[in-house]
Amino acid sequence: MNGSRFAGARGWPRALGRIGLQAGLAALGASVLVWAMLPLAPGDPVDMILAARRIEEPTAAQIAELRARFGLDLPLWQRYLHWLGGVLRGDLGLSWRTGEPVAEALLRRLPATLQLVGLSLAVSVVWSLALALIAVRWAGRWPDRLVMAYTRVFAAIPAFVLALLVLQFVVVGLGLGRVLSGGAGITLVLAAVVLGIDRAAGWTQLLRATLAEQMARGPADVARARGAREARILAVIALPPALLPWLTALGISVGGLIGGAPVLETIFTWPGVGAYLLQALSVRDVPVIQAFVLIAVLAYVAVSSSVDALALLIDPRLRAPREGRA
Amino acid sequence: MIGLSRRAATAPRPGAMPPTDFPAALLRHPSGRWGLALCLLLLGAAAAGPWLAPHPPNLPDYAATLRPPGPGHWLGTDAMGRDQLSRLLDGARRSLGGAAAVTAAITLVGLLVGSLAALSGRWIDAALMRLVDVVMALPGLIVAFGVLGLLGPGYLNLLIALAAADWAYKARIARACALEAVRSPAAMVAREIGVPEWRVLAQHVLPSVLWPLLVLATLGLGGQIAAISAFSFLGLGVQVPHAEWGAMLAESRFHFQIAPWLLLAPALCIFVAVLASNLLGEALRDIATPEARS
C-alpha cells in the first residue's frame, strides 16, 4: 500500500501493470488458500455431505456416487486445477446441503448485498469527509471536540449493536415496522446508513489527523501568509495530499464492509447473501462458504487495486522512478 | 464493522521502546487513565463474577419471566426468568476472556513466526513472509468466516477463527522489530564482549519485539470483543444456554417491546468494554509513538 512497491516503475503503463500483476498474484494465492478449505476441512467430506443432507445411514452406492460426483478420489493438485478451471468458467461447485449449484444461488442474492455494500460505502465516504473537514476547519474548538467525541463513541459501538438499537428504538419507536417488513427500499437505506456510519468513525479520525498535519505544514503556512482564507487552504492545499492515506484505508476496510453485510442483512432481513451464508455456516456447507470467501476476497482485491491505481492518478510521485523522488 | 480490518492502525516503529516511566506515562495520558480504570473494573467484575452474581446464570425461573429491574433482580430477568445481572457477569468471562485469549494467541503466534522469519535463513524467511503476504491480502473478517465454516459453529472454534484471521500483521511487525534489534549497536556490542547468543536474544531482541506487539494487541482488543459478540449474536459462537453479551442481544430481540432492559444492558456492556480497550490502546500507541500524537 505504500509508495515503495512502485519503485522502478516508469510512468503510467508500468505502474499500472505492476498493480495488475500484484492483484493477479494475490488473487491466485488467495484461490489456493480458499480451495484448501476443502481438503483441510476436518472429517471425510463424504461424511460432511451426508451430514449436511441429514442422511443417517448411507448405502455404499450412495457414498461411491458422492465420491465420483465431487471428484474426491483425484490427487490434490488435480482437484485444485479442476476446481480452479470450474471457478474460471463460473462454476463454484455444488452445495453439500441442497446439491444445487452454488454460483446460481449466490448470484441470485449477490445484487442485494452489493447494493447494501455500495450504498454504505457512499454513506461513509460522504459522512467521514464532511465530519473531518468540519473538525479541521474549527480545529481545537467545539465542533472539533464534538466530532472527536462522536467518533470515539461510534468506534466503540459494533455495527450489529447499532443496527439493533436503531431497529428497536427508531424504527419500532416511530412505528415504521410495517414499512420494513416488505423488504422495501427503506430497509436498504437504513441498513446502509447504519453500516456506513459505523465505518465512518475510524475513517474520520484518520482523515482528520492527516488533514491537521497538512494544515501545519509549509504550503499551508505560505498560503496563510499570502492571505488565503482557512476554508480555501483546507480545500485546495490540505485536502488533496490527505486524501491519499484515507483512500488506502478505505480500500482496506471494504473487506470489513463485505464481512459486515451478512450481519446487517440478518438484522434488517435484507434478502442478500447473509441468510444463505449463515445457513451454510451452521451446517458446515463448505462449498457455499468457500464461494462466499472467494467472491469477497476477489471483490476486496479488485477494490484495493483500483484504490492503488487511483493513488497513481492523485500523486504523480508514485508514477515516477524512486530516484526521482525528493 | 468488526474492527479486524482496522489493522491499518499505526504500529510503533521498530526499535521503539517503552518510556522508562511507563506506568506514570500511562496514568498521565488522559484516555490512558480512563481506559485503564474501566478495563480494570470490567476485568475485576468478570473475575469476581461467580461471587458477585446474585443468582446462578443459567437457572431458569418460569415464575419470574421478563421481570423489570428491581429488588431481587437488579437488572431484571429474561424470557426464561434468568437473572440478567448474573448472566452479564457470566457472559463477561466469555466476551472479555475470549478476546484476551485470542489476543494472547495472535501475539504469541506473531512473535514466534516473526522472530523465526527474522532470525532464520533466507528461505524460511521468504516462505513465511509470502504466507503472511497472502493472509494479509485477505480481509480479516472474511478469513474468520472461512475458518469458522471449516470448523463449524462453537465458542472455541470462533476463538480459533478470530486468531487465524489476525496473526499475520503481528508477524510482520514482529519480524521488522526483531531484524532491527538483532542488528542494533547494543546487541552487536553484547555479542562482541562474549555474551552468549540466547542472552542477547532474551535481553535485547525480545523486549523490543514485545513492546510494539503489546501496543498492537491492546489496539486490537476492542475489535476482538466486538467480533466475539457479533459472531455469538449470529449463533455461530457461544451456544445456548451459555451467556455471552452478543448471544444475550440475540435472545433479547424478540422481547424488546416489553423488556427493553434486555437489549440495553448487554449493548451497554459491549460498548463500555470496546470503548475501554480502545482508550487504553490509543494511550499506549501515543506513548509508543510520541511523534504521531494528534
Instruction: List, as one string, the DSSP characters of A113-130.
Output: HHHHHHHHHHHHHHHHHH
- What is the band of B155 on the pLDDT scale with cuts at 50, 70, 90? very high
Q: Which segment of A172-181, B73-82, B97-106 scores lowest on mean pLDDT?
A: A172-181
Q: Which ipTM score applies to this complex?
A: 0.86
Rounded CA-CA distance B64/B44 in Å is 29
Rounded CA-CA distance A278/A205 in Å is 32
What is chain B's mean pLDDT, rounded? 85
Instruction: List, as one string, the DSSP characters of B75-107.
Output: T-B-TT--BHHHHHHHHHHHHHHHHHHHHHHHH
pLDDT (0 to 100) of residue B247: 92
Among candidates B5, B138, B146 on the partner chain, residue whose Cβ is nearest the Cβ of A253: B5
pLDDT tens across B159-194, in order? 999 999 889 989 999 998 888 888 888 888 888 898
Average pLDDT over residues A264-273: 86
Q: Cβ of B84 under 8 Å from any chain A Cβ?
A: no
- What is the band of B10 on the pLDDT scale with cuts at 50, 70, 90? low
- Asked whether residue A9 carries a pLDDT value surpassing 50, the answer given is no
Q: Which of A115-119, A249-253, B7-11 has the highest mean pLDDT?
A: A115-119
pLDDT tens across A193-230, in order? 998 998 888 889 889 988 888 888 888 888 888 888 88
Average pLDDT over residues B40-58: 89
- Asked whether residue B9 carries a pLDDT value surpassing 70, the answer given is no
pLDDT tens across A35-71, in order? 888 787 777 777 777 777 777 777 888 888 877 777 7
Written as one letter, the residue type at B193 is I
Work out the minimum CA distance from B47 to partner chain A, whole angstroms. 23
Q: Cβ of B136 under 8 Å from any chain A Cβ?
A: no
pLDDT (0 to 100) of residue B228: 94
Is B144 within 8 Å of B4 (Cβ atoms)?
Answer: yes
Residues of chain B positioned with their CB less than 8 A from the CB of A289: 145-146, 149-150
pLDDT tens across A103-161, in order? 998 888 888 888 898 899 999 999 999 999 999 888 888 999 999 999 999 999 999 99
Instruction: List, as one string, the DSSP characters of B196-263.
Output: -HHHHIIIIIHHHHHHHHHHHHHHHHHHHHHHHHHHHHTTSSSPTTS--HHHHHHHHGGGTTT-THHH
- Asked whether residue B5 carries a pLDDT value surpassing 60, the answer given is no
H or E stretch covering A206: helix A185-215
Measured in whole angstroms, the distance separating CA A21 from the mean position of its chain's CA atoms is 21
- Tell which wins on pLDDT, B8 or B229: B229
- Tell which wins on pLDDT, B4 or B96: B96
Measured in whole angstroms, the distance separating CA A322 from the mean position of its chain's CA atoms is 31
What is chain A's mean pLDDT, rounded? 82
- Tell which wins on pLDDT, B214 or A259: B214
- Tell which wins on pLDDT, A68 or B12: A68
Work out the minimum CA distance from A152 to partner chain B, whole angstroms. 7
Among candidates A156, A212, A301 on the partner chain, residue whose Cβ is nearest the Cβ of B137: A301
Among candidates B6, B235, B249 on the partner chain, residue whose Cβ is nearest the Cβ of A282: B235
